[in-house]
C-alpha cells in the first residue's frame, strides 16, 4: 500500500512536472530500491510447504549457482559449500533427521518433533549449507594475525549466502525456512552423500510451494536498533 502510494505520487509528479527527466531518474532509483526492499520484506520463515514448485527446479539451481558464486567471503576465501537435495534425496535427509532425533528425544515429546519433521519432509527439496574447514584452516595458517577471526567470518559469510538464497527463493514465490539439526546429523549426512570430511554442516533449508504463508511478525522499534550520526 505504502509502495503503491509512493508510485502514484511519483507518477503524478512525473506527469505534471517540468523537470520530468530529473524525476524520471529519481523514480528509476526508487523503483529499484523498492524492488530490492520488497524481496527482503517478502522473505519469511515459511513452515507450511508442499512439493509443488511449478517447474522452477532449473531457476532454483541457477539462483543457488549465482549466489554461491557472488556472495562475499572474507579474503574472498569462498569456503561455503552447498548440497542441493531434490525429491527422494530430500526425503532421505528428513528420514535421517527423524532417526537421529528418535534416539535422543524422550518418547512423550517425540510426537511434536515428528510433526515438525513431517512438515519439512513435505517440502520439495532441501539446501544444505556447509563450510569447508580446510579453506578456513589454510587461511588461519597464512594470516596468523586473524587466526581467531576466520571461523567467525566463515560462519558470517555462510549466513550471507543463506540470506541471498532465501531471498531469491522468496522472489520466486518459493517458501523456505532455516533449520539446524547439525551436529546431530553430520555423520549420517556425510556418509550418505559421500561428502569430504572437511565439509562442516552449518544449516538446512527446506523449500517448496507455500501452503500457508508465514504469520504476523513483531518488530523491535528501529530507534532501539539503529543510531544515525550526521
Ligand X SMILES: Cc1cc2nc3c(=O)[nH]c(=O)nc-3n(C[C@H](O)[C@H](O)[C@H](O)COP(=O)(O)O)c2cc1C
The residues that touch ligand X, with contacts defined as CB under 6 A, are 44-45, 177-180, 214, 217
Of 50 and 137, the one with the shorter C-beta distance to ligand X is 50
- Contacts of residue 174, defined as CB under 8 A and 6 or more positions apart, other chains included, come to 53, 56, 60, 124, 207, 208, 209, 210
To ligand X, the closest distance from the beta carbon of 165 in angstroms equals 13
User: Cβ of residue 45: shortest distance to ligand X, in angstroms?
Assistant: 4
Cβ of residue 23: shortest distance to ligand X, in angstroms?
A: 34
Give strand ranges (E) for 117-198. Answer: 125-132, 175-176
What is the rounded distance in angstroms from the CA atom of residue 38 to the CA atom of residue 33? 8
| Nearest-angstrom CA–CA distance, 135 and 154 | 9
Q: Answer positive or negative: Cα dihedral of 97, 100, 105, 111.
A: positive
CB 179, min distance to ligand X, A: 5
**Residue closer to ligand X, measured from CB, 51 or 155:** 155
Q: Give the nearer residue to ligand X in terms of CB position, either 217 or 227.
A: 217
Q: Give 27 or 116: the residue with its C-beta nearer to ligand X.
A: 116
Q: Is 84 helix (H, G, I), strand (E, B) or coil?
A: strand
Amino acid at each position: 500500500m505504502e509502495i503503491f502510494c509512493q508510485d502514484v505520487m511519483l507518477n503524478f509528479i512525473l506527469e505534471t512536472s517540468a523537470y520530468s527527466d530529473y524525476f524520471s531518474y529519481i523514480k528509476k532509483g526508487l523503483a529499484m530500491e523498492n524492488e530490492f526492499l520488497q524481496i527482503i520484506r517478502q522473505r519469511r520463515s515459511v513452515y507450511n510447504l508442499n512439493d509443488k514448485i511449478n517447474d522452477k527446479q532449473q531457476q532454483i539451481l541457477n539462483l543457488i549457482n549465482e549466489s554461491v558464486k557472488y556472495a562475499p567471503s572474507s579474503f574472498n576465501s569462498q569456503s561455503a559449500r552447498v548440497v542441493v537435495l531434490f525429491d527422494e534425496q530430500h526425503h532421505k535427509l528428513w528420514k535421517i533427521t527423524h532417526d537421529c532425533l528418535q534416539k535422543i528425544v524422550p518418547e512423550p515429546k517425540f510426537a511434536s518433533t515428528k510433526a515438525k519433521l513431517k512438515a519439512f519432509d513435505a517440502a520439495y527439496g532441501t539446501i544444505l549449507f556447509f563450510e569447508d574447514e580446510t579453506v578456513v584452516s589454510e587461511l588461519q595458517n597464512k594470516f596468523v594475525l586473524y587466526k581467531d577471526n576466520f571461523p567467525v567470518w566463515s560462519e558470517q559469510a555462510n549466513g550471507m549466502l543463506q540470506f541471498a538464497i532465501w531471498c531469491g527463493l522468496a522472489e520466486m514465490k518459493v517458501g523456505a525456512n532455516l533449520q539446524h539439526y547439525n551436529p546431530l546429523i553430520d555423520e549420517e549426512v556425510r556418509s550418505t552423500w559421500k561428502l569430504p570430511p572437511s565439509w562442516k554442516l552449518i544449516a538446512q533449508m527446506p523449500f517448496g510451494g507455500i501452503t500457508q504463508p508465514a504469520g504476523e511478525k513483531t518488530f523491535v522499534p528501529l530507534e532501539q536498533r539503529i543510531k544515525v550520526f550526521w
